[in-house]
Structures are given as structure tokens and as C-alpha cells.
Amino acid sequence: MADDASPKPSPLAVPAGASGHPSRHTYTSSGHLGSLLGGLHDLRRNGVLGMFAGGLREAQQTEIPVHGVTYLAVSKLLDFIYTSDIELDLDNVQEVLFAATLVQLEDVIGFCCDFLYYCLDESNILEVHKLANMFGLKQLEAKVHSYILRNIQTLSRAEVYRQLPEEEVLRVLSSEELEVLSEKEVYEAALHYHYSPEQVETDQVCLQDNLRMLEAVRFCLMEKPVLQRFYSKLVDPCPLKESVAWALRYHDQELLQPVLQGPLTQPRSNYRCILAFGGMHASSSAPDTEAAKGSLFQVFHPGWGEWRKLPAAQAPHMSNQGVAVLNNFVYLVGGDKNTGSFSAETCCWRYDPRHNRWCSIKPLRRQHADHCVCVLGEHIYAVGGRDYSHEMDSVERYDPHTDTWEYVAPLKRKVYAHAGAVLDGKMYVTCGRRRSAYLRETYSFDPATECWEACSDGPVERAWHGAATLNGRLYVIGGTNDEHCLSHLYIHFQPSNGDRLCADVDCDDPPLCLSRTVLQVACFNPAYDSWSLVSPLPVGHGEPGVAVLDGRLYVLGGLSHDRGDRGNRTRYVNVYDPEADRWEAGTPFEGHVSGLAACVLPLPLAVLGQARGWPHRCAPKRAFWEEEVDDDDMHNSGYSSED
């Protein structure tokens, strides 16, 4: 029997007129009936049966009081046990939560946590936080924490903010998931824990005091002029002065910033995005002249459902660049300079997402195009390629501590148009071309021994493809070859018009085999040095960008030879789910593009706020797989680094 005299908790506070809060909600457990029998079986445990054995008081009682639980709460739980439904409202949720915790009805506990979360605001956050701690409800604690992260600006100006536990507030202000547009907002939120908003606004704060919340402020994320003005106002003795001075030194050592990383230099972001740099655009489909000039790059977040353009000063514009991510900085290394004809480059750049800013770093010792770039430890490797005069076996390694490149152990043989990725601390280089031959070779590099070792050959020759690692496997995707060109003895282009095929089988001009798209996707298991084939690509992707986001593999744009021509740039994006071994169409680009350099990076809200959607075109769009190739795209199709 429930103790009806138990004190009833006061109803949860919700401000009047708060229409966004559900005052009552009915929850249903779809899995409850299936687990009921197992729950009854658990009641047969010795501890429960022993209560009713001979010699114990409960064995002689017709009613057994359960103290501290109200009649209403027990009635709600019994209704749920028999019907799988429970109705919660602001008056009963705390009673039900206490009773459900006592008897460990996990479904009801979860429903109570959900209801409390949807009622959560600054008027009751302290009460809900205490409930979570009282009952040890980790899921409710996490929801309260998430609420504070998302509403720090408004919540930090409320009186209840200063009543929250100090450790919880410090954990929030130290989080990379804190949703702020600038670090100045974090600084103000830190001060608001120690002073009222009025005191902060009128500068009635004493920075000479040891204000603990200021430990969470990432001064390095502030712009340098802001820091300089702030530093000039600090008066000794001030515990904050050294932190600001260190942040100024960080800004002064721009090239060393990637190796000066720590908890207070990481960008605040929970938004991991795909970034796509450079590439060659078909002239008629280039969605924005800025893209062709390189003053912006493209960004995709799954929540958007579209690609957006992000302007950035001094952004390089090339194609087939090597791309690497080191300590949340992007490096673009070498590539093709797209100015009328292809020219291999030594230039290298670095992108800082914290401030949406580019800078140049030390150039390569030698020009590299059609190469691959990987990160091993704290170094970046540029592997093989060509300079359009010579194929290369050379490997250069970049040290961000010294901003220098040096030669390390070369490849066993020369190769270009290959792809590389890192798996289990080793770098793998796959396929490519040597002279006119397409390859299926695979080599691995161990930085501990600085030696290259041959691995099993892949299942198909290919070049100008992509590679990525996912779930302990190496995937090789897309590319082209001439393996299935059966009529190559007679196919060549007219000397007078390089865009038209010669149909004369008796012509004495040298034959030319047309490239073909490789749809097979190969998967390498390093534990067994073995390859297998997974679900093939639905369309061709030569010279694609490749990125891994949220456990899925994205293949971006590229050249397609599916129609038997010299290759057309595409706007396709295809996404691979390794669990289901299935490809699905992703969000396509606005324009047709090949030779993108792609990577995944967390972008701060302030930077994401600068991303703009492409202007809508007046003409209705076809599904991208139904598009016809226009004349301009055909004209530009042969202009790629593919031979």
C-alpha cells in the first residue's frame, strides 16, 4: 500500500503563457508488453520471495506499506504496467519519477526525463538539475547540460545562472559544444557567474580577483586587435594578464599555431562539415564567378540539405590539390594551377577555421601534381605525382614545427594519379599510372622504420580515384582506366579536331583508347592483406573529392566517362553506408566540378553564419541523373589532368 500521507512535491514551475511547454502528455512504451514477462520473472529472485517466507512479518500482513511513495504515483505505475501508457503532467511528474526510480521502471524513468526536458527553461532549470542529481539520472543531467550549452547567452543573464553548481557551469563554459558566435560571449558569460549583468555592463568588475570561470575562456579564439585593447586595460596584479599575453603570442606565431594547440585553442563547434576546395568547373554550370576565382569554397552540413559557399580572403584556387587536416587546420599541398594549361605547383596553404583565414606555408621542394597527401603523427607527407615533364617517386615530409619540407624514403617505383590514406598508423598508396599503364599496386609506409612495403594488389587497375579509411578498412573508390576499351585499335581523335572521333578504320593516325569509368569499389583489410569488392558506385567519379562524415563515405563530383566520351564534369554526390553496404544519392553540387580537394572539419557558428546558399536559378532543375551534357561542358570536358 502506498503511503498516501507522503508529502507531495510542489508542481514544476513553468512561466505563465509559455505556450511552447506541454502541460500534459501521454507516453506509450512499444516494448513494454514484451518485457513484462521478464520483469515478473525477476520478481522470483530470492530477495523478493524471502520477504514472504515463514518467520518474517510481511508473511502475515495483508497490506504492506511502501513509504515515501504517493498513492497517485503508484496508481500511475500500475496503469502503465497493465496498459503500456502513462500520462504525465506538471503536477505529477516528480511523484511518478520518484516512484519509478524506486521500483526501477526504466521506461517510465525515461518518459519522465523527456517530459522534464521539454518543460525545461530558466524558471525551473535549478529544480530539474537537483532532481537529476537526487535520483542519479545521467540522461536527465545530460539534457540539462545540453540545454545550458544551447542557451548560454540568455541563461547567463538570469539570476538562476549564479545558483547553478560551480562545477557544472565551468564544464559548460569549457565545452567545445558551447553555442556562441564569438569568444567574447563566453567571456561575458564567465563574468555573469560572478557579477550581475548590470555590473558587467557598467564595468563594475574586479579582474584582479581570482574569477574561476575565466579559466574556461579561450582568448586565442579572439581576434588580435580585441586582445590588444583588452590587454592594455589590465592592471597588475591581474591573474588574467598572463593568459591574454599568451594568446597574443599565439597570434604572433601564426605558422606555429598548429603545434601550439591545447584545450584553449580548439574551435568551439559541434558542427562537423565537409569542406570542398578548388577544382575545375564547367564554364556554363559554374554557379558563381567567385567560385571560379577561388575567393570562396563550398561547405556541406547534413542538416542543411544543400551546399553553401563560404567566402574566405586569399583562398587558393587550383585543382587536384593534396589535402590534409592536422590539429583542426587544413593544408592544401601542390596541385594543378588552372591557367589556360596545366602547370604543377609547389605552393602550399593552410586554412584556420577558427578565424576563416588562409596563410601560405613553405612551398614544396619540387612541383607535385597528381600526387597524394597524408598525415602521419605530426607530419604531412606529399607522395609521388608528376610535374608534367617527369613522373616521380619522391616523397616530401612537412614539419609544422619548423615550416620546412624534407625528402624521406622514396617510393619503390614512380607513380602518379594514385590515392593515399592512413590506417593503423601506416600510410597506404593505391593504384595510379606509370607512363600509360593503369596500376593496381598497393604500398604501405611505416613512419617508425621509414620503409615502404608492397601489399596485395587491388582487384582492378585505376587512376585518378579516391581513397579513405573507415571502420578499420581502406576503401578505394572511383577513378578511370582503359581496361574495357575493346575497340581501342580503331578509336582515335581527328588530328584536325581533337573533340571528334575519326570513324575511318583504315586511317593511319595512331589509335587512342578512351578512358572508362571504374565503378568497382575495393575494400582492403590490413590484418589479412586482402582485398574484397563492396557495392559498386551507381555512376562514375574520376578525379573526385572524398570525405568521411558521421560514419559514411562521401564521393564528390568528378569526371564521368559513362557515355563513352572524353569525360564530363558532374555534380553528383554519392554516399556509402558501410553497415548496409549501400550507396545512396547525396545532395548534389550546384555546378559541375572535378578535381576537388575535400576534408571534414568542425566549423564554429560564427564561420557557418557566413556560409550562403547559391542563388536559385529561374529554370526548373532536372534530377541530376537525368541531365544532358551541354556544349560548354563538352568543350571543357577534356580539360582535366587526366591524359
* DSSP summary character for residue 161: G
**Do residues 573 and 592 lie in contact, with contact meaning Cβ atoms separated by under 8 Å?**
no
Q: Which pLDDT score is estimated for 236?
A: 84
Spatial contact of 120 and 147, defined as CB atoms under 8 Å apart: yes
Residue 370 and residue 386 in contact, taking contact as beta carbons nearer than 8 Å: yes
* Domain residue ranges in the chain: 24-177, 187-259, 272-637
Q: Record the pTM.
A: 0.82
Measured CA to CA, the distance from residue 116 to residue 95 in angstroms comes to 12
DSSP 429: E
Residue 416 burial (C-beta neighbours within 10 Å; 0-12, 13-18, 19+)? buried
Reading the block at residue 362, the C-alpha cell is: 613553405
The C-alpha angle with vertex 391 and arms to 385 and 394, in degrees rounded to 5, equals 60
- Name residues of the chain where pLDDT drops below 70: 1-22, 30-60, 64, 66, 283-295, 339-341, 483-514, 562-567, 614-643
Q: What is the DSSP string of 563-576?
A: TSSS-EEEEEEEEE
Strand, helix or coil at 148? helix
Task: Give dist(CA 294, CA 311) in Å, integer.
Answer: 9
Residue 586: name the closest of 549, 554, 623, 542 by CA. Answer: 554
DSSP code, position 214: G
* Whole-number pLDDT of residue 495: 47
- Rounded alpha-carbon distances, angstroms, from residue 260 to 176, 187, 590: 17, 22, 38
What's the confidence (pLDDT) of residue 560?
Answer: 87
87-92: long-range contacts, CB 8 A cutoff, minimum separation 24: 87/24, 87/25, 87/26, 87/27, 88/24, 88/25, 88/26, 88/27, 88/112, 88/115, 89/23, 89/24, 89/25, 90/11, 90/12, 90/14, 90/23, 90/24, 90/119, 91/11
Residue 122 DSSP one-character state? T
The pLDDT, as a whole number, for residue 268 is 95
CA 509 to chain centre: 51
CA distances from 382 to 52, 499, 597, 602 (A): 76, 34, 14, 24
Q: Which fold has domain 272-637?
A: Neuraminidase (2.120.10)
Contact predicate 474/484, CB 8 Å: no
CB 356 within 8 A of CB 297: no
Give 631-640 pLDDT, tens digit per residue: 444 334 444 5
- Residue count of the chain, please give it: 643
> Does CATH number 3.30.710.10 belong to domain 24-177?
yes
| Phi, psi (deg, nearest 5) at residue 341 | -145, 160
pLDDT above 90 as % of the chain: 59
Cell of 457: 594488389
pLDDT of residue 58: 58
CA–CA dist 181, 322 (Å, integer) = 31
Cβ(85)–Cβ(79) below 8 Å: yes
| Contacts of residue 519, Cβ cutoff 8 Å, sequence gap at least 6 | 536, 537, 538, 539, 540
Output the average pLDDT for the chain.
84
- Among 401, 492, 410, CA closest to 451: 410
